[in-house]
Amino acid sequence: MPKLCVLDENKLCDNCSECNYCDLDSTKICDNCCECLDEGDYRAIKITDIITDPEKATVYK
C-alpha cells in the first residue's frame, strides 16, 4: 500500500524528502533540535546501561 505524503494528505509519497528539512531554515535537514517547537524545555533520560541478565534485572524492580 503506498504511503501518503506527511505534508500534503492529498499526495502520495514520492520520496522527495521535503519533509526532512527544517521548518525554520529550509536549507537545513532536520536534526531534531526542537527550536521550531514553542516549548523551551523538554524532558529526557540518559540510558547508561542495558541489563540483559534476568538475575541482575531483579535488583532494579
Local confidence pLDDT in tens for the 61 residues of the chain: 788 998 888 899 999 999 999 989 989 999 988 888 766 566 778 888 888 888 887 776 6
Cα first-last separation, the chain: 42
Which phi and psi angles does 56 have, rounded to 5°?
-70, -30
pLDDT at 13: 93
pLDDT at 50: 86
| SS3 state of residue 60 | helix
Which residues, at least 6 apart from 51, have a Cβ–Cβ distance to it below 8 Å?
Answer: 57, 60
Closest CA to 38 of 60, 23, 52: 23
pLDDT at 42: 64
Which phi and psi angles does 54 have, rounded to 5°?
-60, -35
pLDDT at 61: 60
The pTM assigned to this predicted structure is: 0.50
